[in-house]
Amino acid sequence: MEEIKIELTKNPKEKPQDESKLGFGRIFTDHMFLMNYDEGQGWHDPRIVPYGPIALDPSAMVFHYGQEVFEGMKAYRNVNGGINLFRPDKNMARLNVSNERLCIPQIDEKFAVEAVKKLVEVEKDWVPHSEGTSLYIRPFIFSTDAQLGVHPAKHLLFVIICCPVGAYYPEGLNPVKIYVEENYVRAVKGGMGFTKTGGNYAASLKAQDEAEKQKYTQVLWLDGVERKYIEEVGTMNVFFVIDDEVITPALQGSILGGITRMSTIELLKSWGYKVSERRLSIQEVEKAADEGRLKESFGTGTAAVISPIGELKCGDKVMTINNGEIGEISQKLYDNLTGIQWGKVEDKLGWVVPVC
């Protein structure tokens, strides 16, 4: 593996003083990781350099055809003062799944994890200290070929940037309101729904905008063919507890396989819950709600970890779930997942990777 060259900044930025005002994705650290791909040469020149703008030709293919993939992960300051990553190998494996679908050359997953570790180590003073905060890490790859013909790129750039982010729930777990999207679809089987690529988000903006105007946090997507089966929520996978069964839609090509989803399933199974990955229609959820058998619902994702759903609107029907309060399973999952990430709960499943 090639050595990662490091060029440190001569003008370090002031670190944010008030960690309660960090928000999400607005402040970036002093450095970034870069690595180029050129046909014939493969991936080369891994380096950490001062954070700053990237110059691209206006004809760079990514601007026109969106050949781009990304990941989202976090580094956490643990209770002993060290810094942890959470299952970073899973992020890099998923990046390669996205790469494959978008005709982007495979990366060396182990090397990419090492690159993240190196960058986080360089930026260790940027990992915030307050309860609930973390350093968000955004690896991404895009095509840079300066030409307008449509074909897979021969030149690409792999970049990793980091930003300190605030506590997602400064006032404790807060149930969100979601509505079932009936007009737009996010992805269909055969498309790119199972990948993390900008195009999926471009397709979702309109629905998200309309949801926000109606004071809903995000939309729940249904399958694009029958408009019947539940897929996922905006930036999260989704779970429903009906009777004593915890159900999440099976990954069948149009849904993103979340690492929080995977970890949630593994934890619930280790605790003896009945977990099903299967097709779940919105009608089944409505019927369960009518009969008082819908106990809980929650979203899972790196940003929020667990996001309880307190209200679900489908057409004219409004379902209040668990009186709009946090359910027992949601709370237990949140406490354990964040506990493992922050080093407060024993990491029995070996998910935590120390950086320093």
- Residue 36 dihedral angles phi and psi, to the nearest 5°: -100, 155
Q: Using CB under 6 A, which of 29, 67, 237, 338 touches ligand PLP?
A: 237
Rounded CA-CA distance 110/54 in Å is 26
Q: How far apart are CA 29 and CA 14, in angstroms?
A: 10
Nearest to ligand PLP of 207, 288 (CB atom): 207
254 and 189 in contact (C-beta within 8 Å)? yes
224 binds ligand PLP (CB under 6 A): no
**Shortest Å distance, C-beta 215 to ligand PLP:** 22
- Is 238 near ligand PLP (CB under 6 A)? no
What is the Cα–Cα distance from 199 to 223, expressed in whole angstroms?
Answer: 17
Binding-site size, ligand PLP (CB under 6 A): 14
Q: Does 128 bind ligand PLP (CB under 6 A)?
A: no
Query: Is 61 or 259 the residue whose CB approaches ligand PLP more closely?
Result: 259
> In the window 134-193, what residues touch ligand PLP (CB under 6 A)?
none
In a 3-state reduction of DSSP, which class is residue 295? strand
User: Does 300 participate in binding ligand PLP (rule CB under 6 A)?
Assistant: yes
Stretch that binds ligand PLP, among 38-46, 48-56, 154-162, 251-259 (CB under 6 A): 251-259
- Token duo for residue 178: 């979601």
Cβ atoms 200, 72 nearer than 8 A: no
Tally of CA atoms within 13 A in the half-sphere of 86 that contains its CB: 28
The nearer residue to ligand PLP, 6 or 97, going by C-beta atoms, is 97
DSSP line for 36-96: EEETTTEEEEEEEEE-------TTBHHHHH--EEE--EEEEE-TTS-EEEESHHHHHHHHH
Tokens of 308: 């309880």
Counting contacts by CB under 6 A, is residue 196 touching ligand PLP?
yes
DSSP string, 304-351: TEEEEEEEEEETTEEEE-GGGS--HHHHHHHHHHHHHHTTSS--TT--
Residue 302 interacts with ligand PLP (CB under 6 A): yes or no: yes
Round to the nearest angstrom and report the end-to-end CA distance of the chain: 21
Q: Which of 128, 139, 164, 258 binds ligand PLP (CB under 6 A)?
A: 258
Stretch of 131-139, 164-172, 176-184, 259-267 contacting ligand PLP, by CB under 6 A = 259-267
Tell me which DSSP letter residue 190 carries: T
The yes or no reply on residue 74 touching ligand PLP (CB under 6 A) is no
Closest to ligand PLP by CB, 117 or 261:
261
From the CB of 243, what's the least distance to ligand PLP, in Å?
Answer: 26
Q: Which residues contact 89 (CB under 8 A, 6 or more apart)?
A: 109, 110, 113, 353
Q: Does 260 bind ligand PLP (CB under 6 A)?
A: yes
* 301 is a site residue for ligand PLP (CB under 6 A): yes
Q: State which residue, 30 or 232, has the beta carbon closest to ligand PLP.
A: 232
**Contacts of residue 266, Cβ cutoff 8 Å, sequence gap at least 6:** 349
- Taking only Cα atoms into account, the Rg of the chain, rounded to an integer number of angstroms, comes to 21
Only one of the segments 6-14, 246-254, 265-273, 294-302 lies at the binding site for ligand PLP (rule: CB under 6 A); that segment is 294-302
Instruction: Look up residue 51 and give its amino acid.
Output: Y
Nearest residue (CB) to ligand PLP, 133 versus 144: 133
Is 68 a binding residue for ligand PLP by CB under 6 A? The answer is no
Q: How far is the CB of 123 from ligand PLP (least distance, A)?
A: 20
Q: Is 87 in the site for ligand PLP (CB under 6 A)?
A: no
Which residues sit at the interface with ligand PLP, rule CB under 6 A? 72, 196, 232, 235-237, 256, 258-261, 300-302
